[in-house]
A and B are shown apart, each in its own frame.
Chain A
Amino acid sequence: MSSDDPASGGPAPSAGRDRRPVRRLPAKQLLGLAGIVGFLATWELIPRLGLIDERYLPPASEVILALVRDFGLTAFWISVGETMAAWFLGLIIAVALAVLLGFVIGSSDFLRKATNSTVEFLRPIPSVALIPLAVLLFGVKIESSLMLITYAAFWQVLIQVLYGVADVDMVANNTAKTYGLGRMARIRYVVFPTALPYLMTGVRLAATVALVLAITAELVIGSPGLGREIALAQSGGAISGMYALVLATGLIGVLINVLMRSIEKKTLSWHSSVRSEVIV
């Protein structure tokens, strides 16, 4: 390869290399900010100009004001807490189960083959199909939420762990064997590090799904949390309040995304050689 030609990839000579990213980013971010401002302005104008009745779509300023008011209310934070508690517990249970089962199934060729059809059949079942069952078993308690969240999040993690364990380098595993590492030690030092990037991807995907199901359970079943507050606000005619809560769920979604991405990145930073191949 003769790609040492610095001009070959376009304008990438070394002189400005370290300063460029720092200088370029703000322009992009400013544009993104302009996009958000533009969106809010459009939203403000639609009801103001009467394109949609203000009773159904209040102007952005009113909704944001309502959201700011919410921030000062204990009841709002209690709802947020309830939603986040269900999200977190459901996610933890799902990850624990999936990791346990994933490593057991994944490290045995026999189990992997024998469970494949069952996994492929159970995985696409929509978790919302379990809503009536959850209601029947737990009513409007948090357990209903947990059941839905756990079911949905479990498969995301399990599949990734199974991929990850299957990806273990046979040479590395055999090397470990010849050095007399036992089964547990091999899982600890060979299998686990290989599967970790996959696991983190699974957890990130599961975290998003878990939030969707947490809100769904609250909305449809009526278990406590932001979803129920949204349904109540809607039926009670507190329209600005409803939109404010919708914005709040979006903000939580963004926070979870950012959090999960940074955790994923941190876990893998010592692992960079694997990461580039593994996560596409």
Chain B
Amino acid sequence: MKALKTLGYVLALPVLLVLLWWASTLGAVNFFVPTPAALVGKFGEVWFGPRFFTDVLPSIARLLVGVVAAIAIGVVGGVLIGSVKWLRALLEPTLEFFRAIPPPVLVPVLILLMGITDSMKVAVIISGCVWPVLLNTIEGVRAVDGVLSDSAHTYGIDGWARVRYLVLPSASPQIMAGVRQSLSLGLILMVISEMFASSSGLGFTIVQFQRSFAIPEMWSGIVVLGLLGVAMSFIFQWAERHILRWYHGQKEVENAA
């Protein structure tokens, strides 16, 4: 009974919205809005063919490579900069400026430096996604608890062991917050780099549909991007719950007290 109620809460509004959409397309044929049936039909037809391998997978691959590289660079750099006090003071204002630059403007710059290539697109994603992770990691490393740090020190936990057992776990809540920002930024940059200058990829294909007024196809592309965003968000949430279980548990205990 309770499960049924929960299911009702989850499904009621989405179903209602789809019904509304369907009803609104019943009467006159609207050029801009396809019927749900037409969209679903196009969706399978457009995206589950050869295009899946020529446009969808390469886009996702670039996104993954870019985001993973950005996270790796951000975390390694952040641990380094965060651990050395003078280095942090030296670099922080410059890094804050880089973070403040809206990442999409890097697309024309990197096209200029690297040409229209796959590595350019990956570089766009990296250069946009690295800042939230980097700056959050620096902040997290800086905020390692003094007593905990002393404890580790007295037990001879130094060097790499200190990073592995103390610094990284302690900074992980901030790092994950940075990763969350990076993921949504990465998706945006993937699309933009393909829309701005490309001959393949999700972003390119969707713009092509729009230019040729293939409206249901265009909508189906928007749906693909939406699904990609939702999938990434769910994977992230799953990973975050797993990695930060101790953190959420601790917060819960603190709040209850």
Residues of A within 8 A of B (CB): 9-10, 27-28, 31-36, 38-39, 52, 56-57, 113-118, 120-121, 123-133, 135-137, 211-212, 214-216, 219-220, 227, 230-231, 234, 239, 242-243, 245-246, 249-251, 253-254, 256-257
Contacts and interface: CB of A to CB of B under 8 A. Distances in A.
B226 interface: yes
Nearest to B195: A220
B101 A35 contact: no
B93 A124 contact: no
B86 interface: yes
Given A35-B94, A57-B113, A239-B112, 20 more contacts: A35-B90, A117-B14, A118-B14, A118-B17, A124-B232, A126-B191, A129-B226, A133-B210, A136-B215, A211-B102, A212-B104, A215-B104, A219-B108, A227-B104, A242-B109, A246-B101, A250-B101, A253-B101, A254-B100, A257-B96
B158 to A, nearest CB: 20
Contacts of B98: 250
Nearest to A211: B102
Contacts of B123: none
Interface of B: 9-14, 17, 32, 86, 89-94, 96-109, 111-113, 146, 184-185, 187-188, 191-192, 195-196, 203, 206-207, 209-210, 215, 218-219, 221-222, 225-226, 228-230, 232-233
Given A31-B89, A126-B187, A227 B105 contact: yes
B108 A231 contact: yes
Nearest to B86: A31
A20 B155 CA distance: 33
A231 B146 CA distance: 49
20 contacts: A9-B146, A10-B146, A27-B89, A31-B90, A35-B94, A56-B112, A113-B9, A125-B229, A125-B230, A126-B229, A129-B191, A129-B226, A132-B221, A133-B222, A136-B215, A214-B102, A216-B102, A220-B195, A250-B100, A253-B99
Given A57-B113, A117-B9, A250-B97, A220 B196 contact: yes
Nearest to B206: A132
A242 B90 contact: no
A36 B93 CA distance: 7
Contacts of A253: 99-102
A120 B229 CA distance: 11
B102 A215 contact: yes
B210 A135 contact: yes
A253 B32 CA distance: 35
A28 B90 CA distance: 8
A261 to B, nearest CB: 11
A128 B191 contact: yes
Contacts of B229: 124-126, 129
Nearest to B114: A56
Contact of A254 (B12, B96, B191): B96
Contact of B89 (A32, A125, A243): A32
Most B CB within 10 A of own CB, among A36, A57, A250: A250
Given A32-B93, A131-B195, A219-B107, A212 B225 contact: no
B4 to A, nearest CB: 14
Contacts of B221: 129, 132
Contacts of A254: 96-97, 100
A242 B196 CA distance: 16
Contacts of A129: 191, 206, 221-222, 225-226, 229
Contacts of A57: 113
A202 to B, nearest CB: 14
Contacts of B94: 32, 35-36, 39
A131 B222 CA distance: 9
A33 B184 CA distance: 32
B209 A136 contact: no
Given A126-B191, A216-B188, A234 B113 contact: no
Contacts of A123: 233
B222 A130 contact: yes
A115 B12 CA distance: 9
B100 A32 contact: no
A189 to B, nearest CB: 24
Contacts of B222: 129-130, 132-133
A123 B209 CA distance: 24
A137 B209 CA distance: 14
Contact of B13 (A114, A126, A136, A212): A114
A126 B202 CA distance: 13
Contacts of A251: 100
A258 to B, nearest CB: 9
Nearest to A131: B195
